[in-house]
């Protein structure tokens, strides 16, 4: 019953097999092999347009180097107050971007509102040098707490970003989970809504370390054109880049990535059903991707742990904090491609 995080899972068997398949033989290094080229083409197919694709080693690298590409002197990056960039990346954005600032934007259940974004940007008026200047907006899809921006939400945020002259980035550490939940295409979730750059994550969904920065406008000399230097300088250019490519090759083949995301989301819904059916727990909000957040009595949580369930407590978002009683605890349950229905049901039985 491992629900601690989707990164506690290993690699999907198809990904592991493909790594082995490409282990032998010689290939040119640093992203210049035929396999790298071919996987880049697959990204263009997935996004239904020419895109520039840059493999990096971690989701934090994808996010922080995306922001670095968009940095300005005295620049400010706007993200939801609970975004991974703000809460869990150890200052990587600030450091790698040369001292950019992360400005937290409010919004219920892990998603910024266009109004809050507009108000946040307004604190950095363009002509007022003392405050600094807006540099980029980043949204997380699926969010840190398993909620989703709808396409209209993304469009509204993109409009605010565009009006203020800054680019829109999507932290897609759980891109596939969001995609299959919304039932739309990658194009529909990104550039057709005004997203300029995506941190495209494969790691949480069956790879072991496959992340990519995807730039929708590959011809931009100041962004995509500079990214090879940005990546190299940040020590994120892998010599045996083939192995990242190999992961993505398996990931995309025959729609594996969508299948693993669907399974992961389905396990979350199965967990949610158990919570709904239980008298000992309630859902803090409806899960939309692969994360479930029940509120439990503290003693119930302890019993679950004692029975072998692994999960983390979660700091209640401001808007629900008042609803968690003193003897209760909000916890996070994360499912993945590797989550077994049996384990979910065992957890359900313990809750019943």
110 vs 193 by CB, closer to a copy of itself: 110
Nearest-CA neighbor of 158 among 149, 145, 167, 150?
167
193 vs 204 by CB, closer to a copy of itself: 204
Contacting a copy of itself within 23-52 (CB under 8 A)? 23-30
How far apart are the C-alpha atoms of 24 and 196, rounded to whole Å? 37
Place of tokens 């730039």: 215
In the complex, minimum distance from the CB of residue 206 to a copy of itself, in angstroms, rounded to a whole number: 10
Query: Can residue 266 be called a binding residue for a copy of itself (CB under 8 A)?
Result: no
Burial (0-12, 13-18, 19+ Cβ within 10 Å), 208: middle
Query: Can residue 312 be called a binding residue for a copy of itself (CB under 8 A)?
Result: no
Query: Can residue 74 be called a binding residue for a copy of itself (CB under 8 A)?
Result: yes
Residue 296: Cβ within 10 Å count? 24
Could you tell me the two tokens for 233? 């300088």
For a copy of itself, what does the binding mask look like between residues 246 and 265, x meaning CB under 8 A?
--------------------
Number of residues in contact with a copy of itself, rule: CB under 8 A? Answer: 80
69 vs 170 by CB, closer to a copy of itself: 69
Residue 285: Cβ within 10 Å count? 16
For a copy of itself, what does the binding mask look like between residues 109 and 138, x meaning CB under 8 A?
--------------------xxxxx-----
Residue 99: Cβ within 10 Å count? 12
Pairing of strands 75-80, 133-140: parallel
Query: Can residue 285 be called a binding residue for a copy of itself (CB under 8 A)?
Result: no
At residue 54, φ and ψ (nearest 5 deg) are -130, 115
Could you tell me the two tokens for 198? 């995506």
Contacting a copy of itself within 147-176 (CB under 8 A)? none
Place of tokens 């979660």: 314
Q: Which of 235, 307, 321, 325 binds a copy of itself (CB under 8 A)?
A: 235
* SS3 (DSSP) at 60: helix
Q: Which of 49, 72, 81, 303 binds a copy of itself (CB under 8 A)?
A: 72
Q: Which of 41, 233, 282, 305 binds a copy of itself (CB under 8 A)?
A: 233
Query: Can residue 19 be called a binding residue for a copy of itself (CB under 8 A)?
Result: yes
Query: Can residue 16 be called a binding residue for a copy of itself (CB under 8 A)?
Result: yes
């Amino acid at each position: 019953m491992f629900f601690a995080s989707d990164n506690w899972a290993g690699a999907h068997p198809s990904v592991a097999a493909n790594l082995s398949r490409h282990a032998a033989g010689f290939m040119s290094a640093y992203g210049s092999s035929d396999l790298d080229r071919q996987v880049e083409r697959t990204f263009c197919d997935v996004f239904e347009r020419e895109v520039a694709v840059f493999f990096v080693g971690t989701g934090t690298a994808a996010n922080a180097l995306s922001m670095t590409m968009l940095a300005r002197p005295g620049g400010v990056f706007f993200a939801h107050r609970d975004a991974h960039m703000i809460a869990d990346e150890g200052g990587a954005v600030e450091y790698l971007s040369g001292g950019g600032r992360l400005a937290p934007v409010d919004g219920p259940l892990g998603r910024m509102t266009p109004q809050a974004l507009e108000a946040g940007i307004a604190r950095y008026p363009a002509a007022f040098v003392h405050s600094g200047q807006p540099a980029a907006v980043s949204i997380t899809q699926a969010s840190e707490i398993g909620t989703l921006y709808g396409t209209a939400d993304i469009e509204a945020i993109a409009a605010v970003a565009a009006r203020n002259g800054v680019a829109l980035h999507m932290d897609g550490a759980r891109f596939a989970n969001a995609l299959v939940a919304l039932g739309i295409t990658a194009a529909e979730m990104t550039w057709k809504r005004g997203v300029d750059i995506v941190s495209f994550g494969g790691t949480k969904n069956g790879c072991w370390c496959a992340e990519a920065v995807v730039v929708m406008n590959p011809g931009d000399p100041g962004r995509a054109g500079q990214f090879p230097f940005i990546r190299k300088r940040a020590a994120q250019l892998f010599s045996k880049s083939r192995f990242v490519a190999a992961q993505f090759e398996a990931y995309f083949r025959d729609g594996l990535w969508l299948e693993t995301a669907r399974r992961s989301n389905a396990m979350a819904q199965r967990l949610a059903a158990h919570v709904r059916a239980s008298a000992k727990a309630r859902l803090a909000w409806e899960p939309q991707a692969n994360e479930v957040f029940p509120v439990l009595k503290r003693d119930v949580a302890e019993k679950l742990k004692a029975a072998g369930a692994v999960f983390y407590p979660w700091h209640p978002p401001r808007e629900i904090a008042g609803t968690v009683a003193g003897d209760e605890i909000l916890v996070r349950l994360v499912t993945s491609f590797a989550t077994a229905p049996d384990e979910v049901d065992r957890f359900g039985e313990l809750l019943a």
